[in-house]
Amino acid sequence: MSSPLFEAAKKNAERAYQLDQSGQSHQAVRYYVNAAEQLQQLINFTDDPNMKNLYFQKAMEYILRVKEIRGIIEPSENKPRSSRAPPEESDEISDAISSVIVREKPNVRWEDVAGMEEAKRALREAIILPMTRPDLFKGSRKPWKGVLMFGPPGCGKTYLCKAVASEVESTFFSVSAANLISKWLGESEKLVNELYERAVEEAPSIIFFDEIDALASARGGASENEAMRRVKTQLLQAVEGFATGDELLVTVGATNTPWDIDAAMRRRFERRVYITLPTSEAREKMFQIHTRGVDLASGVNFSELSSYTAGYTAADIALLCREALMRPIRELDAEGALKDLSVQPRAPDIDDFLQGMEHIKPSVSPKELARYEDWRDQFGG
């Protein structure tokens, strides 16, 4: 994620932002233009549609700002003209918070989470109980401030965190660390600060930092990573000490490369929860959850499917179910039969699942798994 082009765009944006903030808007133009051009080039090198979108938005913002400075368009209401009066940052940052941070109530229910008993217990203790029974968490019995979920991709870290958030009456802030850095280039530090301030105001709050390892890669880098190091430092301080009173504020970090997290960061995430492959019982329930609402042929048996799918992640099973449910529709479509609105597909049968398993294989290897287990043995969870 830190290609030279990206780094160059970041530097230009930072410079532009600094100049603009300090009233030297006209000098900032050149840097905004450079940053916008580099971001537009980056779009061509990126496959990830989310990143493309972010680069695009940010580039558009710079171009708009340039137009404002040159007087081609009226300055927008909430972005004060920086030439004379010192700009008020907070409006811009508020916009930023709304655009990087998801605050809607997630729609994953606790009972939609198959298995993960240990992880659920840990999160109950870390988040749900302190929020529902704050009276029990007084004095030395303090709730955890930082919880780290780690484990291989697709095993339910994000999913479980959403379920936690919908279980408790709390404000849920969800931030992708990678987006925070790439989208907010020089401004991420302020964003972290503002985020925590708001979380304290709206406590009880859960701040979910997905892909927290993206922040850790700043470690040991040269000076071009200075901005990233500052964000990281800011975050470390925030996790530890933002809530000064009794406000309930918990930061949950998720990562699938826990070994990239350095000691300082690790220490803040005192409670660590290992999220790994589902057990056979959990897989059985996952088949049920992910085929809900579609009538299956009578021969489909979830416990049989579970026995065929040892080693599959939760995401693999969700994908397999979608594939199996899609097959009857795909058949009809190939015959061109779907144009007739009265035509209904047959019920998906066991064969659809077996055929699906030909394409969808376990995505995590035993060797990769062993690496997580080594880390857990060393650092807990």
Ligand X SMILES: Nc1ncnc2c1ncn2[C@@H]1O[C@H](COP(=O)(O)OP(=O)(O)OP(=O)(O)O)[C@@H](O)[C@H]1O
Question: Distance between CA 149 and CA 157 in Å, rounded?
Answer: 6
Provide, rounded to whole angstroms, the least separation between the CB of residue 151 and Mg ion.
Answer: 10
Residue 226: in which H helix or E strand, if any? helix 226-241
CB atoms within 10 A of CB 16: 27
Contact region with ligand X (CB under 6 A), list: 7-15, 183-191, 233-241, 310-318: 310-318
With CA atoms as reference, report the closest residue to 199 among 233, 232, 175, 231: 175
Provide, rounded to whole angstroms, the least separation between the CB of residue 236 and ligand X.
Answer: 22
Provide, rounded to whole angstroms, the least separation between the CB of residue 115 and ligand X.
Answer: 6
The packing angle between helices 89-100 and 188-201, to 10°, is 80
Closer residue to ligand X (CB): 17 or 287: 287
Question: Distance between CA 209 and CA 138 in Å, rounded?
Answer: 26
Indicate whether 289 belongs to the interface with ligand X (CB under 6 A).
yes
Contact region with ligand X (CB under 6 A), list: 110-118, 135-143, 197-205, 367-375: 110-118
Indicate whether 12 belongs to the interface with ligand X (CB under 6 A).
no
Q: Which of residues 209-248 bind ligand X (CB under 6 A)?
A: none
Q: How many residues bind ligand X (CB under 6 A)?
A: 19
Among 16, 17, 31, 115, binds ligand X (CB under 6 A): 115
Contact region with ligand X (CB under 6 A), list: 36-44, 149-157, 299-307, 363-371: 149-157
Closer residue to ligand X (CB): 60 or 370: 370
Handedness of CA 191, 196, 198, 204 (dihedral sign): positive
CB nearest ligand X: which residue? Answer: 156
Concatenate the DSSP letters of all residues of 306-332 into one string: HHH-TT--HHHHHHHHHHHHHHHHHHH
Indicate whether 153 belongs to the interface with ligand X (CB under 6 A).
yes
Provide, rounded to whole angstroms, the least separation between the CB of residue 256 and Mg ion.
Answer: 8
Q: Name the pairing type of β-strands 101-102 and 171-176.
A: antiparallel
For the chain, the C-alpha Rg in angstroms (whole number) is 24
Indicate whether 205 belongs to the interface with Mg ion (CB under 5 A).
no
Among 82, 158, 179, 251, binds Mg ion (CB under 5 A): 158
Helix, strand, coil percentages (3-state) for the chain, rounded to 5, are 60, 10, 35
Binding site for ligand X (CB under 6 A): 113-116, 153-159, 254, 256, 275, 286, 289, 314-315, 318
